[in-house]
Amino acid sequence: MSRTRIRDLPGAAEQEVVLKGWLYNRRSSKKMHFLQLRDGSGIVQCIVTRDDVGEDDFAQIGQIPYESAIELKGTAHADDRAPGGVEVHTSAVAVISAAEDYPIAKQDHGPDFLLRHRHLWLRSRKQVALMHIRDEVIRAIRDSMHELGFTCIDAPIFTPNSCEGTSTLFEVDYFDDEKAFLTQSGQLYMEAAAMALGDVYCLGPTFRAEKSKTRRHLTEFWMFEPEMAFADLDDVMDLAEQMLTRIVSRVLEHRQDDLEVLERDIEKLRNVTAPFPRISYSEAVDRMNAQGHSFEWGGDLGAPDESIISSWFDSPVMVHGYPEEVKAFYMKRDPDDPRIACGVDVLAPEGYGEIIGGGQREDDLDVLLARIQQHQLSEEDFRWYLDLRRYGSAPHGGFGLGVERTVCWIAGIEHVRECIPFPRMLYRIYP
């Protein structure tokens, strides 16, 4: 008899089934055990009665340690009161591998303990729900990009130069005396690819040697980076808005159960509809000052400032036109005001802060060269990048969406560390 996945049990009502999974929990009375079996696709309650399995087996089943791998035979019954609408009346249980004393108990553990046991913590209900949501977000991105005619172009991980400033680079020994850096962003390569294929994107790991211990920072995180040829800042904002609404509606459509496990307030996600408010940096600064939150024009927005700005709206807000000094060397300057960069940050609602950063790129060879010199970057390393402005330079732009920050917000989680399977953070690289 072939094995049934727990998620498929509703379609197997009143049939005999074989399940394989792990013992998640058990409640017992004199004559009955209520086993919670999990197999990754779901959790189901399995009822074992002394009358059905006999005295000896009943006693033995009562002793199976939690997280043991087991095979269970029984009959699926539709029951409205059961979680998931099905329960299994058990005829036999075989232990495939008995677990040792499981270190993660049902009561609360501190974050340090859980992070050191991440390889086991992943099995818990909430973490499984989060991984489902992460998977859905990534699939929504890939499917949407395909529908919109973008080509996936994978960016390299080893790079000879920096993209987002030299202070957060991870340096690695390459061959002989050469040094390489782990990529901070695939953007520069996407710019080259956009000149070859038009509309492109990458989705992969990126690295930042950031000595920040905040709930938003990882040293290794995944970024989705679309790039479009013949596009300006407005086109970039249109795409950001479209992608975020597509992602959120996909999760609402397919991952309602997981959002429920996480006790996410779904109404808040229903507010994520286009158009998103667009506000310039200067307008945001004026409005903050008018509210008594003093902020000097010219500085970068910190997390508390972002929280104030996002509190004005129910949906994500796009803040555009930052002072050029706070933005990267490649940003195009506003033709009407050279103090301003044609960049945009998208701030998530509910205080989650920046989830997207992007904008229009400088497409003028001389201006770009001057900025590379001004930022004391090596002209030699950027020769290939400058070539893009030599051979058919075209206005272009794109953005980077942080996958974990986006999952964190959609799932309503406190810290990005739970939104990636195996988080890498300052001083934490185990397991």
Positions touching ligand 4AD (CB under 6 A) are 163-164, 185, 187, 208, 210, 217-218, 221, 223, 225, 354-358, 398-400, 402, 404-405, 416
Nearest distance in Å: CB 219, ligand 4AD: 7
Backbone angles phi, psi at 351, to 5 degrees: 80, 15
- Sheet of strand 158-159, all strands in order from the earlier edge strand to the far edge: 158-159, 179-182, 171-173
Write down the least CB distance from residue 343 to Mg ion, Å. Answer: 8
Q: How far is the CB of 329 from ligand 4AD (least distance, A)?
A: 11
Q: Which partner from the list ligand 4AD, Mg ion, none does 225 bind, CB cut-off 5 to 8 Å by kind?
A: ligand 4AD
Q: Choose, by CB under 5 A, the member of 343, 357, 397, 423 that binds Mg ion.
A: 357
Using the minimum distance from each CB to ligand 4AD, give the nearer residue, 150 or 221. 221
If one counts every other C-beta atom within 10 angstroms of the C-beta of residue 257, the result is 13
**Whole-angstrom distance, CA of residue 98 vs CA of residue 7:** 24
> Shortest Cβ contact with Mg ion: which residue?
357
Q: Which does 343 bind (CB under 5 to 8 A by kind): Mg ion, ligand 4AD, none?
A: none
**3-19 b/e (C-beta count within 10 Å ≥ 16 → b):** ebebeebeebeeeebeb
| Phi and psi angles of residue 66, each rounded to the nearest 5 degrees, phi first | -60, 145
CB of 419 to ligand 4AD, least distance (A): 9
At residue 101, φ and ψ (nearest 5 deg) are -55, 120
Contact status: 398 vs Mg ion (CB under 5 A)? no
Residue 208 binding target from ligand 4AD, Mg ion, none, CB below 5 to 8 Å by type: ligand 4AD
Minimum CB–partner distance for residue 32 and Mg ion (Å): 56
Nearest to 357 by CA among 371, 341, 368: 341
Q: How far is the CB of 217 from Mg ion (least distance, A)?
A: 12
Closest among 107, 104, 134 to 118, alpha carbons compared: 104
Residue 402 identity: G
Is the Cβ of residue 93 or residue 243 nearer to ligand 4AD in the bound state? 243
Report the alpha-carbon distance of residue 9 to residue 173 in Å, rounded: 52
Which lies closer to Mg ion via its Cβ, residue 357 or residue 398?
A: 357
Our CB check for Mg ion shows the closer of 186 and 357 to be 357
